[in-house]
Structure 1
């Protein structure tokens, strides 16, 4: 009977196992390879070719917001110098000569009051003056006679031809007549003052223009009784005249927009009465409080006073003006500096319109960091595409827009 003893495969006569030796060599080789690889990574890393930054050859799209809507305002041409015409005397208006926006010159008659009663009074006073003057003239002639008689009586008395009492009586009569002449002279002066007063009143009933200008307001009609009263802004105003010199403009702006207008801002104005003509004005003052609201008219309005810098020669007081004012108080719209291209004609950007490329000229302003202020060229919202300098040269007008990466 035989006995089977298991023997390890590959075991030599000395009892050493061949597979065990092979495993040690394998692990040694693996360790050596790992060391070589690590050394290779360490020493060869600085010489690795640099990779392109993400998106360096791709595209970016910048969405530009639309420009803030302009501020619309209306107004009229005015003058710094104006005159309010008030009645100097009481009376009934019989005639209003100028119409609104009529040009007048200083001294022109504007309004006539009914002066029939004043003229009748003037006739009576004139007749009384004539009567008093005739009486004074007769009294002076009689005085001259009495004074001459008293002088003769004195000589006769000195010569002893008449009694002293006769002379004294003649001298007394002359003095009495002299007093009468003085009374009649005072009466003439009083009558002359009455005549002058009536003449002045009639003259004042023809109300005249105090300055050259344009009638901007007519607040009276024929048949209306007017009378002087008040002073300053409280005075009764029949007409308002604005001078043709020192012209300015007053605009009215909605309360929503008044905070968007800056003092000192220059604004172009369109003139309704002068098609195609325009004027340039500068904001001088913005009202701190709104215009008193009128019954039945909604909304709150503010007045803006402006000085005219340039305007056509035909511009005059009362003409209506219209303004479309840019919002200069907004932060502004800025573009990425990388999106702005330049050539001999100026600056421009590539925009996408209906999936096509379009070269859009622009004007730019100051730079803030990596952004540049857009001054003009793009009023509406726009998609602006830009990328690396190499591939942007491949773009052309009208070609399909590449997809941003």
Structure 2
């Protein structure tokens, strides 16, 4: 295909080519007259420019507002729901529950367990059987010794009969000798027989006593094959099972179990805890306490400092104390972790008040006086002024308040002057 060439349009028939060129050359755009713009269009462009500049300024203000005008920084604390005892706490310690009466019960003698009639949680009375050891050999020995008692008693009866007969023979010889009808040697022989029968009778009586003591010994040996509850309580652990061997003082499988049952009185529980030497002057025997058990978060127990152990630990700088729980229930048992709040001394009738729950606010958040008290409540990084009614005296920088607070609200503490209702704030880290 040949390249395209540009040429003048063909001349019309009867028209000269020069005339056509003259006509084409006369075609020109007249730029001499300027086109006039419409006033409405100028106004539209002006408004558009203003809107664009305003949008840019607004976006910049929003982006730089926090830097140019930072919100007021405040500190907050939460409204808390707690018992009056917690609010009045003078000292807090942690420890573990233990029974005041708890014993690892074992046997007096070694043996193999034949029966354990109790399980964990079983309540027993003093004297109830906790376990039984095999004692078939002792049963046979007891039967044999009872036979020995019967034999000894029969021999004693024979000796008594012989002694009575010899006594009669001696009396007869004495009568014959007094009438000069008998000989002195016959009298002496009768006397000797009488004395011998008395000795035999005493020996038979001693044999009976010895046989009976042997029976009691065998019975006591069999009794030692039974493990009895030393006091009323609850079985908290089974330390051995049927068929295992136990050994007094044993420590495990190689030497035999040392105990079979661990028994505890769960109605006399106490907290074993430590108090630092620095705080020892703040507590005293008989001081009221509040005990919080981690496993029972919905209950507060009344307690009393029962004993301050008169022995310190110089390596740790502590003194061990025992806090008795005055109102335990079935949900408590040994080795549970607990927190002890030591309370100030209470007047008669105030012990139950320490268990009452109430709403407490930080004292630094309460502003104003009398009926005009209020607090700043933080919600979505804004503050709201709320009227407050206090119902108690300050306790450890806390004060009891009434509705509308229910616990969990965030209050501004030590609010800065000039804070306004609805103002945006920033919570300090």
TM-score by length of 2: 0.56
Secondary structure in 1 matching 2:397:
strand
CA distance in 1, matches of 2:170, 2:380: 125
Secondary structure in 2 matching 1:100:
coil
Residues 1:358 and 2:384 aligned together: yes
CA distance in 1, matches of 2:328, 2:249: 40
The corresponding residue for 2:292 is: 269
- Alpha-carbon RMSD across the aligned residues, in angstroms, is 4.8
Deviation (angstroms), 1:357: 2.4
The corresponding residue for 2:218 is: 198
Deviation (angstroms), 1:387: 2.8
Secondary structure in 2 matching 1:190:
helix
List gaps (5 residues or longer) in structure 1. 1-58, 253-258, 290-301, 327-332
CA distance in 2, matches of 1:81, 1:139: 55
Secondary structure in 1 matching 2:180:
coil
CA distance in 1, matches of 2:297, 2:215: 55
CA distance in 1, matches of 2:203, 2:184: 29
The corresponding residue for 1:224 is: 244
Deviation (angstroms), 1:146: 1.2
Deviation (angstroms), 1:151: 0.8
Residues 1:63 and 2:63 aligned together: no
The corresponding residue for 1:306 is: 323
Aligned residues of 2:271 and 2:323 also touching (Cα < 8 A): yes
- CA shift in 2, pair 1:157/1:151, >3 Å: same
After superposition, give the CA deviation of every residue in 1:169-206 in whole Å (9 maximum; x if it has no partner): 22222222222222222222211111110111112222
Residues 1:387 and 2:417 aligned together: yes
Secondary structure in 2 matching 1:188:
helix
Residues 1:238 and 2:260 aligned together: yes
After superposition, give the CA deviation of every residue in 1:301-353 in whole Å (9 maximum; x if it has no partner): x99853324x3654554495666989xxxxxx97768x724564x85421332
- CA shift in 2, pair 1:314/1:336, >3 Å: closer
Aligned residues of 1:280 and 1:308 also touching (Cα < 8 A): yes
The corresponding residue for 2:51 is: none
Deviation (angstroms), 1:60: 6.2
How many residues are matched?
A: 304
CA distance in 2, matches of 1:243, 1:402: 57
Aligned residues of 2:125 and 2:232 also touching (Cα < 8 A): yes
CA distance in 2, matches of 1:208, 1:198: 18
Match of 1:173 among 193, 196, 211: 193
Aligned residues of 2:135 and 2:222 also touching (Cα < 8 A): yes
Secondary structure in 1 matching 2:230:
coil
Deviation (angstroms), 1:145: 0.6
After superposition, give the CA deviation of every residue in 1:215-250 in whole Å (9 maximum; x if it has no partner): 2233222223334359xxxx9443332224432235
Matches within 5 A, 1:1-400: 61-64=73-76, 75-76=96-97, 78-229=98-249, 236-250=258-272, 266-270=289-293, 272=295, 277-281=299-303, 305-309=322-326, 311=327, 313-314=329-330, 317-318=333-334, 320=336, 340-342=367-369, 344=371, 347-359=373-385, 373-374=397-398, 385-387=415-417, 399-400=422-423
Bigger drift between 375-384 and 93-102 goes to 375-384
TM-score by length of 1: 0.59
After superposition, give the CA deviation of every residue in 1:344-392 in whole Å (9 maximum; x if it has no partner): 4x8542133224323465979769xxxx93557678685875535xxx7
List gaps (5 residues or longer) in structure 2. 1-70, 80-85, 87-91, 251-256, 314-318, 343-360, 401-406
Aligned residues of 1:101 and 1:318 also touching (Cα < 8 A): no
